[in-house]
Amino acid sequence: MADSQKLNDGHYFLDKNEVELERLNLGQIIIKDHMQKLVWAPVDLTRPSLRILDSAAANGRWIEDLRSSLSPEVQESSVFISTDVTDVFFPKPEPDGISFFAQSMLENWPASIVGSLDLVHQRLALPAANQSQVQATISRFIDLLKPGGYIQFVEADHSIAKGPAMTDFFRLLSDIFNVMNTGNDYARHLKGWFEDLGLEDVHEKVFDIPIGQSNPDTEMGKRGALMFSYGVRGLVDVAGSVPTSFSKDELDTLEGRMKDEILSTGGIWRLYCVWGRKPGG
């Protein structure tokens, strides 16, 4: 099996990392704290009978937080769907009011939900679609929307690094993405892709999230350092089975170097939030 197939064989490539779910939970806390809003797309969240889907949702924390922020009337009358390529992180029992099912973004969606959704959300997952698949993947997401519905994607810009350890982390991520034939620059292309695929009222907002020492909130800074430490651990595990530009010593020391650097000098995590509206409605 080719290395690219190993990383694109129908499962999340970090699902074997024992701390991955904790890393994802930390990410939700940190991003929610900095972005202030879960939904930047101008969806009327006071309207009853909404239909909202979160893709690449892991344990569904994003959509659970969103649902709990809405009025009781909207919560009870609306449909909330949480999907992921694997069910390994799905909560058991499922939270009230949220349905979960396994779905790869690279495959066709169930006909029952095509053209029916008010909002489709996905965060930090689009690189699972390689460079030959990415626009078709986004197009399938757009097909899920009803006329006038919104899509909102959040992706990271891996070109912003304050120190050598963070630079090495992004280089390792780039090495792994190269094996997957995917890009580390999808965030900067999202707005153009949305426009090219016919979305209207496309907007982009860039967030520079301070990590570690850079964050004036000490506790949030520590959470960011731990999140990146866990992320490095998962990537180093993956790097053991694919070619990279790193020596064994560089890989073995990266997690410690990253954590020390972020706690002592800080770092920046740049995220692009991009949204657009399907014509009509």
CA angle centred on 53, ends 47 and 55, rounded to 5°:
155
Are the C-beta atoms of residues 104 and 11 closer than 8 Å to each other? Answer: no
Q: How far apart are CA 145 and CA 114, in angstroms?
A: 7
* Exposed/middle/buried for residue 85 (C-beta within 10 Å: 0-12, 13-18, 19+): buried
Q: DSSP per residue over 161-176, as a string?
A: -SSHHHHHHHHHHHHH
Strand-by-strand arrangement of the 117-123 sheet: 98-102, 79-84, 51-55, 117-123, 145-157, 267-277, 200-211
Does the domain made of 3-277 have the CATH classification 3.30.300.130? no
User: How far is the CA of 67 from the CAs of 18, 37, 56, 266, in angstroms?
Assistant: 28, 13, 17, 33
pLDDT at 14 over 60: no
Q: How far apart are CA 244 and CA 247, in angstroms?
A: 8
Q: Which residues contact 277 (CB under 8 A, 6 or more apart)?
A: 41, 148, 149, 150, 199, 200, 201, 202
- The reported pLDDT for the residue numbered 55 is 99
Q: At 5, is the pLDDT very low, low, confident or very high (cuts 50, 70, 90)?
A: very low
Q: Give tens-digit pLDDT for 161-198.
A: 889 999 999 999 999 999 999 988 999 999 999 999 99
pLDDT at 157 over 60: yes
Q: Give residue 237's Cα distance to chain centre.
A: 20
- The reported pLDDT for the residue numbered 81 is 99
List the structure tokens of 114. 């095509």
Share of the chain above pLDDT 90, in %: 90
pTM: 0.93
Mean pLDDT, range 3-23, rounded to an integer: 59
Q: At 17, is the pLDDT very low, low, confident or very high (cuts 50, 70, 90)?
A: low
Q: Give tens-digit pLDDT for 65-100.
A: 999 999 999 999 999 999 999 999 999 999 999 999
